[in-house]
């Protein structure tokens, strides 16, 4: 842990303030001067960070900041949370909405891309704004849940769409909502007869594990079956605090899955990913997906080649339990949906691009990093 954090916030780990998730949320680090109290930053670093905040705000919980190496710019925790000047670089193939979520949004805050499931965007706030965020066009501008009118329209759409049997409550991060606000959503979804499964997508166990309180879990238990998808990218994130939070979730009868993003210089090697996956399984968290980084504006410096992900999965297969090996997927540009990267789905492969076929038989292209041109979208 980084002891400088605690002197800056004048609290100690384990104190009532530190363990209060609302204190953690209120005291998120949101500017370069505050961050410089925690990690080493030059004047140029501070200037670069300030320039980046016009694209996506910075917000880092004291807990997550305590995991950073204060002297190492290449610290995998720091790289996920601290803005880089690379975010100001916009490349021709990058898009504000690479997954075409707006196109598949029949009403505000609903994304209905797949036949039997829908995404409900419950809030625009997160415990921490990850620098590789795909939904940066929506989150981080203001720390607000969706309004009552928009919530009514979103839930009404689900109620009137009987093919939707599975709803993913995401955002932003739904666990930044109060227990009462989240319960209002869960209870109303559970009252819809054709909604069989409710899932919660959250990064909170990694960035603010003290949010996982007995009262939260007691409330969630009332609306089973509830599943939860966590988001751990690096083994250092699986601290005693995070593991305790996840154990409490599992003990509440909530199955846990994990979705990681393949990030250059953070987890793009087999040893790091192996350590992460084995720790997840030990913690009763099923590795679900590893995502190839999306083509969102300002995050190209996080992208690896597609071959990197393929080689990681190949090196793990047979060497660790199949239970610990997630699917490696590309969420195809221009709304193609999640496509597993395997022999059946790869149509062609080159140094410039990968062509993949999705579940509907349409072919989408994903440009390799530094290929020099953008995705062509649907080919057939």
Structural domains in the chain, CATH included, are 3-88 (no CATH), 110-367 (3.20.20.70)
- What are the residues whose beta carbons fall under 8 Å from the beta carbon of 370, sequence distance 6 or more? none
Q: Is 12 helix (H, G, I), strand (E, B) or coil?
A: coil
Residues 266, 300: Cα–Cα separation, whole Å: 14
Tokens 């030059």 belong to residue = 42
274-324 pLDDT per residue, tens: 999 999 999 999 999 999 999 999 999 999 999 999 999 999 999 999 999
What integer pLDDT is reported at residue 217 of this predicted model? 98
Pair 230, 256: CB distance under 8 Å: yes
237-246 pLDDT per residue, tens: 999 999 999 9
Residues 229, 257: Cα–Cα separation, whole Å: 5
Q: Using 50, 70 and 90 to split pLDDT, how confident is the model at 4?
A: low
Q: Is 119 helix (H, G, I), strand (E, B) or coil?
A: strand
Pair 355, 347: CB distance under 8 Å: yes
Pair 312, 287: CB distance under 8 Å: no
What integer pLDDT is reported at residue 376 of this predicted model? 46
Alpha helices in the chain (DSSP H): 3-9, 21-26, 32-35, 43-52, 62-65, 76-81, 148-159, 179-190, 204-207, 214-221, 240-251, 270-282, 306-316
Catalytic site positions = 113-114, 117, 126, 130, 133, 135, 294, 331, 338
Residues 82, 70: Cα–Cα separation, whole Å: 12
What integer pLDDT is reported at residue 139 of this predicted model? 82
Backbone φ and ψ for 117, nearest 5 degrees, come out as: -145, 155
Q: Is 131 helix (H, G, I), strand (E, B) or coil?
A: coil
- Mean pLDDT score, 136-148: 79
Backbone φ and ψ for 125, nearest 5 degrees, come out as: -110, 150
């Amino acid at each position: 842990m980084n002891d400088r954090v605690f002197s800056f916030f004048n609290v100690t780990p384990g104190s009532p303030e530190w363990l209060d998730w609302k204190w953690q949320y209120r005291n998120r680090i949101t500017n370069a001067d505050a961050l410089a109290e925690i990690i080493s930053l030059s004047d140029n670093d501070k200037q670069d960070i300030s320039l980046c905040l016009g694209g996506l705000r910075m917000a880092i919980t004291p807990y997550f900041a305590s995991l950073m190496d204060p002297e190492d710019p290449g610290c995998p925790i720091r790289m996920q949370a601290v803005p880089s000047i690379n975010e100001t670089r916009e490349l021709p193939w990058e898009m504000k909405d690479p997954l075409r979520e707006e196109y598949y949004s029949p009403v505000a805050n609903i994304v209905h891309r797949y036949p039997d499931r829908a995404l409900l965007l419950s809030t625009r706030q997160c415990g921490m704004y990850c620098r590789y965020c795909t939904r940066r066009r929506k989150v981080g501008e203001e720390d607000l849940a969706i309004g009552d009118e928009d919530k009514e329209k979103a839930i009404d759409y689900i109620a009137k769409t009987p093919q939707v049997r599975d709803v993913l409550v995401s955002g932003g991060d739904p666990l930044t909502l109060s227990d009462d606000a989240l319960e209002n959503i869960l209870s109303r979804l559970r009252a819809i007869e054709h909604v069989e499964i409710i899932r919660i997508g959250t990064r909170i166990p990694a960035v603010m594990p003290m949010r996982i309180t007995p009262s939260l879990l007691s409330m969630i238990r009332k609306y089973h079956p509830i599943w939860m998808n966590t988001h751990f990218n690096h083994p250092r994130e699986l601290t005693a605090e995070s593991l305790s939070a996840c154990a409490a979730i599992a003990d509440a009868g909530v199955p846990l899955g994990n979705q990681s993003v393949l990030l250059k210089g953070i987890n793009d090697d087999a040893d790091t990913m192996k350590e992460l996956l084995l720790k997840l399984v030990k913690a009763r968290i099923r590795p679900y997906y590893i995502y190839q980084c999306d083509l969102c504006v300002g995050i190209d410096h996080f992208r690896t080649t597609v071959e990197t992900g393929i080689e990681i999965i190949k090196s793990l297969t047979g060497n660790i339990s199949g239970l610990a090996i997630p699917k490696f997927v590309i969420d195809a540009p221009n709304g193609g949906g999640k496509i597993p990267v395997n022999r059946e789905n790869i149509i062609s492969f080159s140094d410039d691009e990968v062509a993949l076929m999705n579940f509907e038989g349409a072919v989408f292209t994903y440009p390799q990093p530094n290929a020099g041109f953008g995705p062509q979208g649907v080919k057939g």
